[in-house]
Amino acid sequence: MHLNQHQLDTIHRDGFLLLPSLFSNSEIDRLSERLPALWSERCQANILEKDSDTVRMTLALHKRDKRFAELVVDPRLVTPAQQLRPEPLYIQQTKVNNKAPNSKDIWQWHHDFGNHRINDGIARPLALNIHVFLDDVDHFNGPICFIPGSHVAKDDTLIDHNVFYDDQTSSFAVWAVDDDVVKHRLLAAEKRQAGRSIVAATGVRGSALIFFDTTLHCSPANISLNKRSIFSMIVNPVSNKYTIDTRPDHLHHKDLTPLPNYAVAV
């Protein structure tokens, strides 16, 4: 699965790219049927919602389940990442973000590099977040929302947004961006993207999504009766590995074994 030039241009312009129906329904069924057993494990790698006993995030999936171990080396996910970052890549984190029906938990506006830089000592914003929709994602069940073009400054270099530590909004603390940063980037997106200030990444189950480490994103509450689960894998160049080793392995994996090299033609 190679990205074509239009897809490459799109992700470099917007900071994210949706790949509709990359996996079949039967492939998604095989992954989804493993989730109840993984959610039933009361362990540190399962993070609960703030006000309930529902698992909102389950981590280290490729180390806990064979089917997810197969998914993380699937060429349909790895090849596009190697096109964008043509050097050895390691798996920094895997998880499923879950939003139960009528779940009130959200993900506030943030960019992943804020967390990677401060928590893990990652020097450069080169990590890529690769998602697979395990359910249909619509505008009502908590889609991931992006500010197009928010990953770059005016000179098109990757930007490190100012962040603050937010341990109040939800059950999982993140380094979030404040309202002034969000407003500035929304206004910039309206000007740069011809009025597209926010885009909700929606699509059928089996669709994939790739975005850069500095792209501003959030997700609202699931106000529908439909669950919403999304698999996420973060990959990072080995040359850009963690320099702070204080977080547990399920939050940032210490195994730097490179992903298979699929001989990407860049």
Domains of the chain: 5-240 (2.60.120.620)
Q: Is the pLDDT of residue 266 over 60?
A: no
Q: What is the mean pLDDT of the chain?
A: 92
Which of 157-166, 167-176, 180-189 comes out lowest in average pLDDT? 167-176
Rounded to a whole number, what is the largest CA-CA distance in the chain? 48
Closest C-alpha among 233, 215, 230, 71 to residue 135: 230
Q: Is the pLDDT of residue 144 over 80?
A: yes
Average pLDDT, integer, range 110-132: 96
pLDDT band for 192, please (50, 70, 90 cuts).
confident
The predicted pLDDT at position 51 comes to: 67
Using CA atoms, how far residue 198 sits from 8, 141, 206, 217, in Å, is 20, 17, 23, 9
The predicted pLDDT at position 46 comes to: 86
Using CA atoms, how far residue 95 sits from 3, 44, 56, 143, 251, in Å, is 24, 13, 10, 16, 9
Average pLDDT, integer, range 116-124: 96
Phi, psi of 39 (to 5 degrees): -65, -25
pLDDT band for 219, please (50, 70, 90 cuts).
very high
Q: Give the pLDDT confidence of 37-87 residue by residue, as tens digits.
A: 998 888 888 888 776 778 888 999 999 999 999 999 999 999 999 999 999
CB-count exposure of residue 253 (10 Å: 0-12, 13-18, 19+): buried
Q: Is the pLDDT of residue 220 over 80?
A: yes
Closest C-alpha among 227, 206, 242, 254 to residue 71: 206
| % of the chain exceeding 90 in pLDDT | 77
Q: Is the pLDDT of residue 171 over 80?
A: no
Q: Give the pLDDT confidence of 51-65 residue by residue, as tens digits.
A: 677 888 899 999 999
pLDDT band for 233, please (50, 70, 90 cuts).
very high
Distance CA 139, CA 70 (A): 30
Q: Is the pLDDT of residue 27 over 90?
A: yes
Q: Judge contact between 239 and 90, C-beta under 8 A.
A: no
